[in-house]
Amino acid sequence: MGSQFIASTALSGEDFATFPDYPAEIRAPIGTTFGVSAYQMNIGADPITTAGDKPDVLAAFNPAALKVSLPLLDDGALLIVNSDSFTARNLTKAGYEKDPRDTGELDSYQVISVDIGRLNLESVKPFGLSKSDGGLCKNFWTLGMLMWMFGRDLSPIEAWLKAKFAKNEVVRDANLTALRSGHAYGETAELTEAMPRFKVSKAELPAGEYRGITGAEALSLGLAAAAELADRPLIFCSYPITPASQLLHRLTRFGDLGVGTFQAEDEIAAICAAIGASYGGAIGVTSSSGPGIALKTEAMGLAVNAELPLVIVNSQRGGPSTGLPTKTEQSDLYQAVYGRNADTPIPVVAARSPGDCFFAAIEAVRIAVRHMTPVILLSDGYLSNAAEPWLIPDMNQFAPIEACPVPVPGDNRDAQGMAFDRDAETHGRPWITPGMPGLMHRLGGIEKDIHTGHISYDPRNHQRMTDMRAAKVESVARFIPDQAMELGPDEGELLVIGWGSTYGPIYQAVQEIQKSHANVGYTHLRHLFPFAPKLREIVGRFNQVLVPEMNMGQLSTLLRDRLGVVSTPLCKVTGQPFLISELVEKMRSMLPQVVIAANESVARGKVQ
Amino acid sequence: MSAALTAKDFATSQEVRWCPGCGDYAILKAVTKTLAEVGAKPEDTAFISGIGCAARFPYYVETYGFHSIHGRAPALATGLKLANPGIDVWVVTGDGDSLSIGGNHLVHALRRNVGLKILLFNNEIYGLTKGQYSPTSRIGTRSPSSPGGSIDLPLSPGQLALGAGAKFFARAIDTDKVGLGDVLKEAHAYDGTALIEIFQNCIVYNEDVFASFTDRKSAAETQLRLKQGEPMLFGTDNEQGIRFNADTFSLEVIDAKTGSEQILRHDETNKVLANMLVELEAPVALGVIYKNAADSFEKAWHASRKNGLNRNRRVADALRSTNTWTVT
């Protein structure tokens, strides 16, 4: 029974090729040590971006398998690690001195640690298999989990299993159960769905010191870096939600960087505690995903009115409501820019790649402190999980983060008014915090007099305060660099405008189209609200504008609203990023057909 | 050094805008008096509130003050305490603010034992929104939103607090200078969440709702004023007392002369007793009902860290705390 089981379960290339949905390639084990056996399969997502023979995913059932197979992977690959096999004994056997999951050597990869062995055995328990036979089902358990992560249908594999083990019902049913259990695990644990990665070949990397980094890690480090630049502690207040929780997990480990974390009782408490932390002089940060951000909305208005710095990180996911927690979308742009009661403007910035989350976080904190305002930082599920090699930035390149100076208490002026002495350029007020003698003042959600800071119901004052809040957010644009081109000329036929995590595919697609059309330019927005200066001028130098977004055209609306620009949206909300081919196709369809135009001109000439 | 501050030094320039005769005036007076008496430093004191009549309180106290949003004051105050544990933080709230819209935050502040003094002005009605019944309104309360009388069971702040793990729960009456002053001082000295339920008379929408036990003429017969270690006696001449009836498993009133050996002494550290005292309807238990020392949340939070919120390490170092390689 045992040997038959092993023989049947070992996957052969021939067998896998029979999966109709699966252009698969199974190879003989490579570089086997300690009896490590491996199978490799190519799920074949995107023909352009899938690296030839480098796997995107490695499922390592033990440390030895990890050690052997890791060199096969490119940075950014997805590593599924069977955590219950990572015992001290197995680690030693594999030649690891320390658990590689703790040493940072896996930082370049997206690592998912799951007790595959235990969970698989648990799932096949009812079939009464021996421990070793039951253990063999873990291939299918893991495959089931991967099918979830890649959003694939289980039925072809189920059909194959039924045919393959038609004569052995126990083995058939055990494997089917393992497969379904792995799939159910992925869903229940809300494992973020895997996506094709957009790689930059090593040859193109600029010189310097590198490390691997995920978006969640870069964002965490960026927040810690911003706090260091501001020379203040950072207090991160959050309520768990997929896919934003990783930030909380990472920041909790940054205690020695002056970071404190607080797991609040709900989303509202999280943002209110962050506001309280800012009120106390720390960099208050809260984080969530769309539904949680919705709950925080009222408190964002409070932070606007109280003129306190605050960063709200949104790791966007598919919606509405619970929607698709593990799928990526960019559909919270309206929410970020427009989604509050009353005239409550808040600056919005977005990260575009895993490593860029670091810089976006510093920018968000800088704006928040300089202008004494909440700032929304948009990330998404894909960015949080994706890993890439990252040129380690020199911390000396960043200017300190400074608020408007705190006044010296004096007898001549009411401290209440001094707390709202705003800087003429930034409209930021002094960050006066409890504990400072002689500067006691009251603040809150009620409208206050623009000068005295006392409660005011005066209609003219409300107009002035509303104007001030709008001017404050608009003033952000005066402190940020002009909008620049990512690729191509800054004038021409077609301008592609992107924002957020679509950076990778758009960049590669524009590179591709430029081989035939040099008149295509690409600009990518860090600042969504307000836009960086000169965006309007850039747009004006192109005949057409294409806006690819993973939503139903939200940036297109914003461009029309803010700049009066009519653009062509390219919308996709399948939870999958753009394929380079579909972007190229769209751009091509918008570009003048050079050949036909020439023929027409010739034809016209003939008539004349 | 300047002379010791008086209650007047804790008053702001702002005109107090509660209804004439509102119980809030008396509470404000008792609080500013307490601040002066305990030697509070205005710059190290903050009043945080949510929404409601009570929530206007911070505008009238010459300390730091934050009038936040409905129900969220404990959450905001928690953030402040984490950022700066040295600030003496008072939360001012009402029965709607803390038991309805903000119930969750109150529960969690209590269970964490955040160092906040929470003054719960309970008037069993929504005042600011013009008189709707509240979560503490008694069944049958007629109001604009319950013209036929409210039908939902009122919530007991004491039971809720003890159930949530509160380590300090006290009660006082708005106009009772001595009783309120005493519990305010005890709360101020307590290192954790001190919840004080203040029976506050809303003269416009729910006048005299507590008159059955707050009326000074009958107060001796209707109030049980608790003192740690003292026998539980009440009445004009302390002629009545409280004993535990083991058959009914409850507290009951007995004649102090005949049953003096059975009269309980108040033990504020006894949670079972506290649960019975908050249930007692006649007389109504006042003073510190329950108090047990425990580390505050912010103390534990800072202690769990090597060096508080200070930096022991540079980000430049953290960026390299993993495998790095050089591209040339």
pLDDT for B119-138, tens place per residue? 999 999 999 999 999 999 99
User: CA nearest B68 in A: which residue?
Assistant: A444
Residues A386 and A457 placed together within one structural domain of the fold? no
* Range name among A195-209, A419-433, B176-190 with the lowest pLDDT average: A195-209
Residues A513 and A436 placed together within one structural domain of the fold? no
Q: B82 vs A103: CB contact, 8 Å cut-off?
A: no
A342 CB within 8 Å of a chain B CB = no
Reported as a pLDDT band with limits 50, 70 and 90, residue A200 is low
Task: Give the residue from A429, A455, A479 where a domain finishes.
Answer: A479
Residues A469 and A420 placed together within one structural domain of the fold? yes
A27: pLDDT strictly greater than 80: no
A354 touches A214 (CB < 8 A): yes
What pLDDT score does B307 carry? 80
Question: Token pair for residue B2?
Answer: 């300047």
Number of separate domains in chain B: 1
Compute the average pLDDT of residues A443-454. Answer: 96
A-B C-beta contacts closer than 8 Å: 213
What pLDDT score does B259 carry? 84
Residue of B9, B35, B45, B69 to mutate when probing chain A, most A C-beta within 10 A: B69
Cα B185 from chain centre: 12
**CATH number for the domain including A582?**
3.40.50.920
Q: Is residue A67 part of a domain?
A: yes
* DSSP type of residue A231: T
Q: A276 vs B324: CB contact, 8 Å cut-off?
A: no
Q: Is residue B119 part of a domain?
A: yes
A168 touches A22 (CB < 8 A): no
Nearest to A292 by CA among A269, A261, A308: A269
Mean model confidence pLDDT for chain A: 86
Reported as a pLDDT band with limits 50, 70 and 90, residue A388 is confident
A11 touches A39 (CB < 8 A): yes
Q: Which residues, at least 6 apart from A579, have a Cβ–Cβ distance to it below 8 Å?
A: A46, A48, A505
Q: Is residue A295 part of a domain?
A: yes
Mean model confidence pLDDT for chain B: 96
Residues A142 and A40 placed together within one structural domain of the fold? yes
Residues A13 and A162 placed together within one structural domain of the fold? yes
Q: How much of chain B is helix, strand and coil, in % rounded to 5?
A: 35, 25, 45
A71 CB within 8 Å of a chain B CB = no
Residues A385 and A516 placed together within one structural domain of the fold? no
A534: pLDDT strictly greater than 50: yes
Q: Is residue B33 part of a domain?
A: yes
Nearest to B58 by CA among A85, A448, A244: A448
The DSSP element (H or E) to which B31 belongs, if any, is helix B23-37
Residues A239 and A388 placed together within one structural domain of the fold? yes
Q: Is residue B202 part of a domain?
A: yes
Q: In DSSP terms, which residues pair with A112 in a beta bridge? A: A80
DSSP string, B142-198: -BTTBTT---SPPP-HHHHHHHTT-SEEEEEETT-HHHHHHHHHHHHH-SS-EEEEE
Q: Is residue A404 part of a domain?
A: no
Q: What percent of chain A has pLDDT over 90?
A: 64
Residues A156 and A58 placed together within one structural domain of the fold? yes
A42: pLDDT strictly greater than 70: no
Q: Is residue A402 part of a domain?
A: no
Question: Token pair for residue A421?
Answer: 């002495």
- Phi/psi of residue A156, nearest 5 degrees: -65, -40
Residue of A266, A414, A442, A443 to mutate when probing chain B, most B C-beta within 10 A: A442
Helices (H), ranges, A20-137: 63-69, 88-93, 100-103, 116-124, 131-136
CA angle, residues B67, B68, B73, in degrees to nearest 5: 105
Reported as a pLDDT band with limits 50, 70 and 90, residue A194 is low
pLDDT for A321-341, tens place per residue? 999 988 889 999 999 999 999
Residue of A107, A272, A395, A414 to mutate when probing chain B, most B C-beta within 10 A: A272
Q: Is residue A601 part of a domain?
A: no
Q: B326 vs A210: CB contact, 8 Å cut-off?
A: yes
B268: pLDDT strictly greater than 60: yes
Q: Which residues, at least 6 apart from B113, have a Cβ–Cβ distance to it below 8 Å?
A: B165, B167, B192, B193, B294, B295, B296, B297
What pLDDT score does A54 carry? 65
Reported as a pLDDT band with limits 50, 70 and 90, residue A151 is confident
Reported as a pLDDT band with limits 50, 70 and 90, residue A190 is confident
What pLDDT score does A605 carry? 38
Min CA distance, A277 vs chain B (Å)? 4
Reported as a pLDDT band with limits 50, 70 and 90, residue A203 is low
pLDDT for B215-235, tens place per residue? 999 999 999 999 999 999 999
Residues A548 and A527 placed together within one structural domain of the fold? yes
Q: What is the CA radius of gyration of chain B?
A: 22
The label of the residue with tokens 């603010």 reads B97
Which parts of A55-199 are beta strand (E)?
Answer: 57-60, 78-82, 110-114
B56 touches B64 (CB < 8 A): no
Q: Is residue B189 part of a domain?
A: yes
A261 touches A252 (CB < 8 A): yes
Reported as a pLDDT band with limits 50, 70 and 90, residue A2 is very low
CA separation for the pair A166, A420 (Å, rounded): 78
Nearest to B200 by CA among B288, B91, B282, B126: B126
pTM for this predicted structure: 0.89
A411: pLDDT strictly greater than 90: no
Residues A359 and A229 placed together within one structural domain of the fold? yes
A495 touches A538 (CB < 8 A): yes
Q: Which domain holds residue A504?
A: 492-595
**CATH number for the domain including B36?**
3.40.50.970
**CATH number for the domain including A140?**
3.40.920.10
* DSSP type of residue B282: S
Q: Is residue A522 part of a domain?
A: yes
Question: Token pair for residue B229?
Answer: 């270690």
State whether residue B234 is helix, strand or coil.
Answer: strand
pLDDT: is A303 or A24 the higher one?
A303
Of B80, B325, B327, Cβ closest to residue A434? B80
A281: pLDDT strictly greater than 80: yes
CA separation for the pair A53, A375 (Å, rounded): 43
Residues A126 and A85 placed together within one structural domain of the fold? yes
Q: Which domain holds residue B143?
A: 7-209+295-303
pLDDT for A507-527, tens place per residue? 999 999 999 999 999 999 999
Number of separate domains in chain A: 4
- Which A positions 474-533 lie with beta carbon below 8 A of chain B? none
pLDDT for A90-107, tens place per residue? 999 888 998 998 887 888
pLDDT for B233-255, tens place per residue? 999 999 999 999 999 999 999 99
CA separation for the pair A497, A500 (Å, rounded): 11
Of A228, A280, A442, Cβ closest to residue B58? A442
CA separation for the pair A258, A242 (Å, rounded): 25
What pLDDT score does A606 carry? 39
B291 touches B167 (CB < 8 A): yes
A393 CB within 8 Å of a chain B CB = yes
Compute the average pLDDT of residues B167-192. Answer: 97
Residues A163 and A127 placed together within one structural domain of the fold? yes
B195: pLDDT strictly greater than 70: yes
State whether residue A263 is helix, strand or coil.
Answer: strand
Reported as a pLDDT band with limits 50, 70 and 90, residue A201 is low
Polymer length of chain B: 328
Reported as a pLDDT band with limits 50, 70 and 90, residue A108 is confident
Reported as a pLDDT band with limits 50, 70 and 90, residue B2 is low
A15: pLDDT strictly greater than 80: no
Q: Is residue A265 part of a domain?
A: yes
Residue of B10, B15, B43 to mutate when probing chain A, most A C-beta within 10 A: B43
User: CA nearest B40 in A: which residue?
Assistant: A435
Q: Write down the ipTM of this complex.
A: 0.98
What pLDDT score does A29 carry? 35
* DSSP type of residue B6: -
Compute the average pLDDT of residues B157-171. Answer: 98
Min CA distance, B93 vs chain A (Å)? 15
pLDDT for A555-582, tens place per residue? 999 999 999 999 999 999 988 788 889 9
B76: pLDDT strictly greater than 60: yes
The label of the residue with tokens 């606007």 reads A304
What pLDDT score does A31 carry? 32
Quote the crossing angle between the two packed helices B73-83 and A267-279, to the nearest 10°. 50
A33: pLDDT strictly greater than 60: no
CA separation for the pair A277, A284 (Å, rounded): 5
Q: Is residue A133 part of a domain?
A: yes
In single-letter form, the type of residue at position A441 comes to H
What pLDDT score does A105 carry? 82
